[in-house]
Amino acid sequence: MLTYLSEKKSQIKDLLGSFLSPLRQDASRINAWGPDSLDRLQEYLYRGKMIRGALVSFGHEMCGGMKTPQALQIGAAMELFQAAFLIHDDIMDRDLFRRGKPSIHAQYRDLLKSRFETSINPQLDHLADSLGICVGDVALFLAFELLGSIDASLSILQSLLKLFTRELLYVGFAQMEDVYYGGIEDSPEEEQILSLYKYKTGRYTFSLPLMAGGILAEAPASILNTLSYLGERMGILFQLKDDELGLFGDTEELGKPIGSDVISDKKTLYRYYLFQTVKGEDRKQVEELFGAAYLQKEDLLFLRSLVKETKVHERIGGLMDQMEQDARNIIQQLDVDPIWKERLLELVEYNRNRVK
């Protein structure tokens, strides 16, 4: 399965390169920001794993589709949507690193500070954030251009546009809740957090690309519905694993600092269960660490130790086991060739055990 994903990533990269290359000349007629933003965007795209884009082709081929170029084109659009969300997300969360390098708005901060020979200037930081937002917007516009120019029947094209619009709308609503709770002390309840995981990450990461590939292959509604539910289970598992890596992972493997969710006071299930469990001096220290300006190494070790002592880590591990088993059960019920079931099971296993 990993070999398949790697091959599709290479093909999507080639498609994105061919798509963006001629746009630079057109963009240069407007101003220097056009080609600059396209260069940064392409480099940013190439550093991603492109799993979402590859899953479009996977869903298409699994459902018996033969429209390989169109599936890759939808996959490329998927990666542009993903880039846009991440660029905007990093600005909202004030994350300065993504995919092992400075995030897009951080790149513009460095550019502006070198151009105006200054190290600290809130005005320039705001300007850099604004430029980053613009690059995210550009990615969105390019994604819809790719999606809208697919060589397919009108009914398929309409179904794809409806699917993408609705699923991306869900992401927007979920992101608003995530941002809101990241800025206040109150925490959502467990059910709200799981709903956030489902609509911000789960459906968007797995349900959407798999269903898009299925729609292109003209798969029956029964299979599309099953892929929708499978994507939710796999997506919640994916987000829970992200939470785990955000606390127990390795910075070099992850591509961003460990503990960033703690610093930004993300209302993860780890935080929710921890605040439901710890008391006394431990509770006081935990409250000081979530939302702190930075974490020392000993702070991170303290939190790791605490989530193990309180069995929060074990509890979330059990929830991941449940999501994994749900996904495996759904896969066995899918009416597709066994080879595709095997690959889906490999994807579930990779999702459960990944280190980045």
pLDDT at 272 exceeding the cut of 70: yes
Q: Average of pLDDT values for 73-90?
A: 96
Number of domains in the chain: 1
Look-up: residue for tokens 């890596």?
Answer: 245
pTM greater than 0.85 (yes/no) = yes
Asked if 331 and 230 touch (Cβ cutoff 8 Å), the reply is yes
> Rounded to the nearest 5 degrees, what angle is found at the Cα of 51, between the Cα atoms of 263 and 243?
25
In which band, very low, low, confident or very high, does the pLDDT at 254 lie, cut at 50, 70 and 90? low
Task: Report the pLDDT value the prediction gives residue 253, as an integer from 0 to 100.
Answer: 64
**Helical segments of the chain, H only:** 2-28, 33-46, 51-62, 68-93, 104-115, 122-148, 154-182, 190-196, 208-216, 221-248, 251-254, 260-263, 269-277, 280-289, 297-309, 312-333, 338-353
Task: Report the pLDDT value the prediction gives residue 250, as an integer from 0 to 100.
Answer: 76
**Structure tokens of 234?**
């796999």
CA–CA distance, 326 with 345 (Å, rounded to integer): 11
> Rounded to the nearest 5 degrees, what angle is found at the Cα of 336, between the Cα atoms of 335 and 339?
140
Q: Which residues face 102 on adjacent strands?
A: 97
User: What burial letters (b/e) apply to 231-257, b meaning 16+ CB within 10 Å?
Assistant: bbbbbbbbbbbbbbbbbbbeeeebbbe
pLDDT for 205-227, tens place per residue?
A: 999 999 999 999 999 999 999 99
What secondary structure does DSSP assign to 190-231, as a single string?
HHHHHHHIIIIIIIIIIIHHHHHHHHHTT--HHHHHHHHHHH
> With pLDDT > 70 as the criterion, what percentage of the chain qualifies?
98
Which secondary structure element, helix H or strand E, spans residue 101, and what is its range? strand 101-102
In which band, very low, low, confident or very high, does the pLDDT at 264 lie, cut at 50, 70 and 90? confident
CA–CA distance, 22 with 28 (Å, rounded to integer): 11
The residue count of the chain comes to 356
In which band, very low, low, confident or very high, does the pLDDT at 37 lie, cut at 50, 70 and 90? very high
Asked if 247 and 304 touch (Cβ cutoff 8 Å), the reply is yes
In which band, very low, low, confident or very high, does the pLDDT at 119 lie, cut at 50, 70 and 90? low
Rounded mean pLDDT of the chain? 92
Which structural domain range is residue 150 located in? 2-353
DSSP, collapsed to helix, strand or coil, labels residue 142 as: helix
Asked if 318 and 273 touch (Cβ cutoff 8 Å), the reply is no
**Structure tokens of 4?**
């398949």
Task: Report the pLDDT value the prediction gives residue 302, as an integer from 0 to 100.
Answer: 93
In which band, very low, low, confident or very high, does the pLDDT at 120 lie, cut at 50, 70 and 90? low
Q: What is the CATH number of the domain that holds 333?
A: 1.10.600.10
Asked if 290 and 262 touch (Cβ cutoff 8 Å), the reply is yes
Residues 6+ apart with CB under 8 A from 60: 67, 68, 71, 213, 214, 216, 217
Q: Average of pLDDT values for 321-340?
A: 95
User: What burial letters (b/e) apply to 168-178, b meaning 16+ CB within 10 Å?
Assistant: bebbeebbebb
**Structure tokens of 185?**
């002390």
- CA-nearest of 13, 45, 47, 11 to 138 is 45
CA–CA distance, 301 with 304 (Å, rounded to integer): 5
Query: How far from the centroid of its chain's Cα atoms is residue 20's Cα?
Result: 22
**Structure tokens of 71?**
């599936």
Listed range (39-53, 70-84, 212-226, 253-267) with the worst mean pLDDT? 253-267
pLDDT for 288-317, tens place per residue?
A: 999 888 888 899 999 999 999 999 999 999
